[in-house]
Homo-oligomer: A and B are copies of this chain.
Amino acid sequence: MNNIKIPLDESDIPRQWYNLAADLPTPPLPPLGPDGKPIGPEMLAPVFPMNLIEQEVSTKRWIDIPEEILDILYRWRPTPLRRAVYLEKYLDTPARIYFKDESVSPPGSHKPNTAVAQAWYNKQFGIKKITTETGAGQWGSALAFACKLLELECKVFMVRISFDQKPFRKMMMQVWGANCVASPSPETNAGRKVLEEMPDTPGSLGIAISEAIEQAVTDKSGKTRYSLGSVLNHVLLHQTIIGLEAKKQMAQIGEKSPDIVIGCAGGGSNFAGLSFPFVADKINGADIKIVPVEPTACPTMTRGPFAYDFGDTACTTPLLAMFTLGHAFIPPPIHAGGLRYHGMAPLICQAIVEGLMEPRAYHQLESYEAALIWARTEGFIPAPETSQALAAVIDEAKKAKEEGKEKMILFNYSGHGLMDLTGYDAYLSGKLTDFELPETELKKYTKALESYPKAEVRKSGKW
């Protein structure tokens, strides 16, 4: 049973991030401003520091990782690549299943890979304070962690219902010294307005984003910026260290290319982090199936139209060309809170348009069934988001058995489920249900998109 954990020496950590924008055969459509024209970098300057904006618009293939960022990542990186031998045995499959274990970071997920990088670039730019929003708290806790290690102030607007019902992520943020308040809060115009109209509102991610952006752009010192944990190009870029490490680890044990690469996708950052270096191989001719997995409750990639839409509910962002369920869509309360997003990272969407990826959706109950199989064979308890990927992994392993093929499956174990045990409790006591978005609902929310500029489907036709 040897070699189920494949470490990577610290000295072999990747020293550059990989930028898929350099290699996509057809470039993604540009973000549009309120005038319907492509926005320039300067329009983002009040929100993000210029060094991150440069990464956001860069088409350079490789971007150096500053040594000081690596110095923080060494606390948990390189993460182990592991082989799921116990699951393989349970499924009696000829498939070899490998996973990149991103759950080993202090906040328990892949999120700090970009939180640390963003905090560092903000600090370099002279920023003293970063604001953000968080739903269940994965992203907020990762940014709190990063800001503490870099001695930046961190302000997190946490959706009120999570703030009240799930206090543990909030406590994590406080351990790392962040100021976490329930949103809507009385601290911003956006928050006060909502509180006046609906004093008992549970809050929403849309409101929290508005508050975080408002607090960043109205700080008169000019030393505050806003930070986002997924969707944007520079966020995905920082996550590619995952896939680049995995490649080195596979080479170390003599494994060639995976046949199938799988990850769950909400805004897309953990999936992109693992898969983009393999998308590059696919563009160069490798035969790889690349599968982003989403919940049927929020079927952005599998049922949403490719269209220009806002990234947030409050319509404060530029228009992004992506698969979307409409920015007003509020996903049902599934436990995989990190996958409850109406849109998807534009880079991923363009790769789907090109035919480089094959998105797939799973029901909530299927994902919990997969999670229990995992916890009872491999031993570790996965996050509900990660469990969506697991459902696809198990399906592919079963298919390999049926076909008698020795497929190699690689997936991203994006986080542990220790802060999400209530979902397991609900599943085990039979209280969980599946959600399927009715067609009429979908049409209701995507109708608004017709009034925006049309997103042209452009592809090379090679896949």
**Chain A residues within CB distance 8 Å of chain B:** 1-5, 7, 9-11, 70-71, 74-76, 86, 104, 106, 108, 145, 148-149, 167-168, 171-172, 174-177, 372, 375-381, 418-419, 421-422, 424-425, 428
Of all chain B residues, the one with the shortest Cβ separation from A419 is B418
**In the assembled complex, which residues on chain B have CB atoms less than 8 Å from the CB atom of A167?**
421, 425
- Given A171-B421, A421-B171: A177 in contact with B376 (beta carbons within 8 A): yes
| A422, B106: Cβ atoms closer than 8 Å | no
- Give the Cβ gap from A376 to chain B, nearest Cβ, in Å: 5
List, in ascending order, chain B residues with CB within 8 A of A175's CB.
372, 375-376, 381, 421, 424, 428
Contacts of A174 in B (CB 8 A): 424-425, 428
Cβ–Cβ < 8 Å partners of A421 in chain B: 167-168, 171-172, 175
Cβ distance A224 to chain B, nearest Cβ, rounded Å: 22
B residues in contact with A1, CB < 8 Å? 10, 70-71, 74
CB < 8 Å neighbour of A10 from B2, B177, B379, B428? B2
B7:A2 contact, CB within 8 angstroms: no
A275 to B75: give the CA distance in the assembly, Å.
25
Whether B379 and A4, one on each chain, are in contact in the complex, defined by CB atoms closer than 8 angstroms, is: no
Give the nearest-CB partner of A423 in chain B.
B171
Residue of B nearest to A378 (CB): B75
| A75-B379 CB under 8 A given contacts A7-B7, A10-B2, A372-B175 | yes
Q: Of B4, B106, B380, which is within 8 A of A380 by CB?
A: B106
- Residues of chain B with a CB closer than 8 A to A422's CB: 171
Closest residue of chain B to A104 (Cβ to Cβ) is B104
28 pairs across A/B with beta carbons < 8 Å? Answer: A1-B74, A2-B10, A4-B10, A5-B10, A5-B74, A75-B86, A75-B378, A75-B379, A76-B379, A106-B375, A106-B379, A106-B380, A106-B381, A145-B379, A148-B376, A149-B379, A171-B421, A171-B422, A171-B424, A171-B425, A172-B381, A172-B421, A174-B425, A175-B372, A175-B421, A176-B376, A418-B418, A418-B419
With the chains together, A380 CA to B74 CA distance in Å?
13
Known: A149-B376, A167-B421, A168-B421. 13 other contacts (CB 8 A): A1-B70, A3-B10, A4-B75, A5-B10, A106-B375, A106-B381, A145-B379, A171-B422, A171-B424, A171-B425, A172-B421, A175-B375, A175-B376
Name the CB-closest residue of B to A425: B171
- Chain B CB within 10 A, most for which of A70, A71, A74: A74
Q: Which residue of B lies closest to A86 (CB)?
A: B75
Q: Which chain B residues border A148 with CB–CB below 8 Å?
A: 376
User: Within 8 Å CB of A375, what residues of B?
Assistant: 106, 175-176
Question: Which residues of the partner chain B approach A76 to less than 8 Å between Cβ atoms?
Answer: 379
